[in-house]
Every structure is written in C-alpha cells, then in structure tokens.
Amino acid sequence: MIYLGIDIGKRHHEAGLINENGDPIGKTFRFANSKSGSDKLLKFLNQHQVTPEECACGMEATGHYWLSLFSFLHQLGFKVTAFNPMQSDALRNFYIRKTLKMLT
C-alpha cells in the first residue's frame, strides 16, 4: 500500500508519498489549486506508478480549498479521506509529546 498525504492550501497544495513502512517515495511535490495543478498531481502519481487500487489518500479539509481535489481523486477511483485540521493538529501534538516523553 502507498499513502498520499496532501497539505491543502489556498493557492498551492503539497503532496508526498510514503510506502507501508513509512518510508518516503521520492520528494514532496507542490502544485497549484487548479485543474492544471490536479493534472500535474496525476502526472506525478503516474511517474511513481501509483494506481488507485494500491493508494490511500488523506488531506486536511481546509476551508473549501480541498473540495475540488477531493472530487478529482475520488472520480479517478482513489480512496480519499478528508479530516478536520483540528484533529490532525491534535494528532501531531499527541505524537510529539509521546516522542519527547520517550526521549527523557
């Protein structure tokens, strides 16, 4: 399984791929919040031979900026999950605290 994480922004998004072990696949990719940007994301996925059957996508539901990208990926057959930014922030803080406790 390959995981696609997308950081949603007003004008640009940032995407990254990791494998099932959590290892990054290539470099992160910045693309515009537009149809041409979505097409660039699809080209990026094709370059890494990522198919909808083997990929799970996650993105923050930031404002309304995520809606078109969510729909685009969903129509292509990708499994897409949008989550509340407050939840992802809380999760990030949870893991940071856990890591710091383990180090001390």
Which domains does the chain carry? Answer: 2-103 (3.30.420.40)
Residues 79-99 have a mean pLDDT of 64
Kindly report the pTM of this predicted structure.
0.79
Query: Is the predicted pLDDT of residue 96 greater than 70, yes or no?
Result: no
Report pLDDT for 54.
Answer: 96
pLDDT for 101 beyond 80: no
Mean pLDDT along residues 82-101: 58
What is the Cα–Cα distance from 86 to 68, expressed in whole angstroms?
21
> How sure is the predictor about 93, in pLDDT bands with cuts at 50, 70 and 90?
low
Nearest by Cα to 14 from 3, 30, 2: 30
Distance CA 89, CA 85 (A): 6
